[in-house]
């Protein structure tokens, strides 16, 4: 602990001279190369910090590459597990990307996910609808529940200008408590004392694809990713959303239907989060449990940010983050490292990439001062 603090303080002190000595200029335009370079640089530093943390937490350095890359991406079983984990992460990342497009901070992905999971579980547990339609109904219910859960913050933001950040977050906590209320009460599996619901019927579980635990949910998530890419990059609504996100005032003055577009994108974000909940209960857990969806909000935001809010890139980012989750699970079992390390690595990567952007957004100048530079006169003469 003390060691960590010292390292951080030293970093801060090292940066202090920058505050006073340098002058900054906003770059008019960063070339794509520079932007990519600072992005990758930030990413590399973030991953390095994550690796150092893991070693400090007791993982042998020699095993890092094996655990973080080989075991989660390069073996069939490991990759299968990564894909399973990536399924809800992809949906959460898409949810964040859609909301971010119109600058709506959805910090309540978890809440929408839990409400989606509850809705899907409700359809499954109470055998609503004919069996062949059970799964579509579950997914639909999950989407609607997620959209409903984000509707209140959306309404309050549009009508009263209340910040959606705290609202969505608070509603996450409420959703979690509602889920617990059900799991410790009416929906508890009567055959045990655990806070879990009874197992779903086969008609209410997503079919496996014959590769590890990978289930049809990944197909749903991939289709969602492709559809969202078309929506955000190729449609009228996407064009409008882009303008609104960059400058809502100008968008309104240009006659763009701002409110309708915002409502569409935000509800879609809620629905995607809800769908993630539905996919988890129907595809992975086959029941409602209280351990689903943890940290999904932050992971979703990190994925969307790393993907630059592009739906196709989100697929790649979701796989990468899923790899960290997968490795985190192993490390917890074999090295007794807290699974909090996953969030730590995510946080470090996000922070470093954010800082990295600075170098493409600004030019640092150490300007020559006239009082000390006499040679400029020769230049002038």
Partner 1 sequence: MGTAGPQTAPLLALSGVSRSFDGVRVLDRAAFDLKRGEIHALLGENGAGKSTLMNIVTGVYAPEGGRYLIDGAPAGIRGPKDALKAGIGMVHQHFRLVDRFTVAENVLLASGQLGLFANAGEAARAAMEAGKAVGLAVDPAAIVGELSVAERQRVEILKVLALGARIVILDEPTAVLTDQEAGALLLAIRKIAAQGRAVVMITHKLREVAGHSDRVTIMRAGRTVISGAPVGTLSAGDLGRLMMGEETSPAEAAEAGVIEAAAPITIAKPGEERLIVSALYAGGGQGSVGVSDVGFTLKAGEILGVAGVGGNGQQALAEAIVGLLPVAGGHLTLDGWELGEFSVARRRDLGLRVVPSDRFASALIGELSVADNLALTRVRTGRYRSRLGSWLVGRRRMKREAEQAIEAFAIAGATPARRARLLSGGNAQKLLLARELEESGSGVKLLVAHSPTRGLDVKACAFVHAAIRKAVAGGAACLLISEDVEEVRALASRILVMSAGRMVGELPAGASASQIGALILGQA
Partner 2 sequence: MELFLTGWLTSLPAFAMPLLLAAVGLILSERAGVLNMGAEGYMAMGAMTGAVVTLTAGNPWIGVGAAILAGAALAGLFAIATVVFRADQILAGLATVALGGGITAVIGRPYLHKTFTGLPRLDPGALADLPLVGGLLFRQDLLAYLGLALVLLLWWGLRATRTGLKLRAVGEDPATADVAGVDVQLYQAGAVLACGALCGLAGAYLSIVSSNVWVEGMVNGRGWIALALVIFARWNPARAILGAVIFGGADAALPRLLALGAQVPTYLLSTLPYLLTILVLVLAALGGRRKDAEPRSLGLAYIRQDRR
* Site of interaction with partner 2 (CB under 8 A): 1, 4-5, 8-9, 11-12, 15, 18-20, 23-26, 53, 57, 105, 107, 156, 160-163, 165-167, 169-171, 173-174, 177-178, 180-181, 184-185, 298, 301, 305, 336-348, 350-351, 354-355, 357-358, 361-362
Residue 350 C-beta: closest distance to partner 2, Å: 4
Cβ neighbours, 10 Å, residue 176: 17
Q: Name which of partner 2, partner 1, none residue 342 binds, using a CB cut-off of 5 to 8 Å depending on partner kind.
A: partner 2
Q: Report if residue 98 touches partner 1, rule: CB under 8 A.
A: no
Q: What is the DSSP string of 117-130?
A: HHHHHHHHHTT-S-
- Please identify which residue in 212, 257, 329, 347 interacts with partner 1, judged by CB under 8 A: 257
Per rule CB under 8 A, count of chain residues that contact partner 1 = 41
- Please identify which residue in 77, 131, 201, 365 interacts with partner 1, judged by CB under 8 A: 365
Q: Report if residue 28 touches partner 1, rule: CB under 8 A.
A: yes
First and final C-alpha spacing in the chain: 61
Residue pair 197/189 in contact by the 8 Å Cβ criterion: yes
Residue pair 324/345 in contact by the 8 Å Cβ criterion: yes
* 26, β-bridge pairs: 362
Residue 241 C-beta: closest distance to partner 1, Å: 11
Query: Which residue from 17, 18, 4 is spatially nearest to 364, judged by alpha carbons?
Result: 18
Which C-beta is closer to partner 1: that of 250 or that of 312? 250
Residue 38 C-beta: closest distance to partner 1, Å: 18
Cα-Cα-Cα-Cα dihedral of 120, 124, 129, 134, to 10°? 80
- Please identify which residue in 253, 312, 333, 364 interacts with partner 1, judged by CB under 8 A: 253
Q: Name which of partner 2, partner 1, none residue 186 binds, using a CB cut-off of 5 to 8 Å depending on partner kind.
A: none
Query: Which residue from 124, 149, 136, 158 is spatially nearest to 271, judged by alpha carbons?
Result: 149
Q: What are phi and psi of 346, to 5 degrees?
A: -60, -45
Q: Name which of partner 2, partner 1, none residue 127 binds, using a CB cut-off of 5 to 8 Å depending on partner kind.
A: none
- Please identify which residue in 103, 199, 252, 332 interacts with partner 1, judged by CB under 8 A: 252
Residue pair 138/120 in contact by the 8 Å Cβ criterion: yes
Q: What is the DSSP string of 60-110?
A: -HHHHHIIIIIIIIISHHHHHHHHHHHHHHHHHHHHHHHHHHTT-----HH
Tokens representing 309? Answer: 């809010």
Q: Name which of partner 1, partner 2, none residue 62 binds, using a CB cut-off of 5 to 8 Å depending on partner kind.
A: none
Which C-beta is closer to partner 1: that of 24 or that of 333? 24
Residue pair 288/187 in contact by the 8 Å Cβ criterion: yes
Site residues, partner 1 (CB under 8 A) = 23, 25, 27-29, 230, 234-240, 242-243, 246-247, 249-257, 365, 367-377, 379-381
């Amino acid at each position: 602990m003390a060691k960590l603090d010292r390292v951080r303080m030293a970093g801060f002190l090292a940066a202090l001279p920058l505050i006073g000595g340098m002058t900054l200029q906003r770059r008019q335009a960063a070339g794509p190369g520079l932007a990519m370079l600072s992005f990758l640089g930030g990413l590399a530093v973030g991953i390095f910090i994550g690796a150092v943390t893991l070693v400090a937490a007791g993982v042998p350095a020699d095993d890092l590459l094996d655990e973080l890359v080989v075991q989660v991406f390069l073996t069939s079983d490991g990759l299968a597990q990564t894909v399973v984990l990536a399924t809800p992460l992809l949906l959460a990342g898409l949810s964040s990307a859609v909301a971010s497009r119109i600058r709506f901070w959805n910090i309540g992905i978890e809440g929408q996910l839990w409400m989606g999971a509850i809705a899907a579980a409700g359809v499954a547990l109470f055998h609503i609808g004919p069996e062949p339609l059970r799964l579509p109904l579950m997914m639909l219910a999950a989407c609607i529940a997620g959209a409903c859960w984000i509707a209140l913050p959306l309404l309050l933001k549009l009508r009263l200008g209340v910040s959606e950040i705290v609202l969505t977050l608070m509603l996450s906590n409420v959703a979690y408590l509602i889920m617990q209320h059900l799991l410790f009460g009416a929906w508890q599996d009567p055959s045990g004392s655990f806070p879990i619901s009874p197992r779903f019927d086969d008609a209410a579980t997503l079919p496996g694809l014959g590769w590890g635990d990978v289930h049809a949910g990944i197909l749903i998530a991939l289709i969602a990713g492709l559809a969202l890419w078309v929506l955000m990059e190729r449609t009228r609504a996407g064009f409008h959303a882009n303008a609104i996100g960059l400058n809502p005032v100008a968008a309104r003055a240009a006659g763009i239907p701002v409110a309708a577009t915002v409502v569409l994108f935000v509800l879609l974000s809620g629905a995607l989060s809800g769908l993630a909940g539905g996919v988890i209960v129907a595809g992975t857990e086959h029941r409602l449990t209280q351990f689903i969806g943890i940290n999904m909000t932050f992971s979703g935001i990190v994925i969307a940010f790393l993907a630059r809010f592009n739906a196709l890139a989100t697929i790649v980012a979701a796989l990468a983050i899923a790899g960290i989750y997968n490795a985190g699970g192993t490390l917890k079992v074999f090295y007794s490292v807290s699974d909090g390390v996953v969030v730590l690595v995510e946080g470090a990567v996000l922070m470093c990439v954010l800082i990295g952007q600075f170098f493409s957004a600004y030019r640092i100048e150490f300007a020559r001062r006239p009082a000390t530079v006499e040679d400029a006169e020769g230049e002038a003469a």
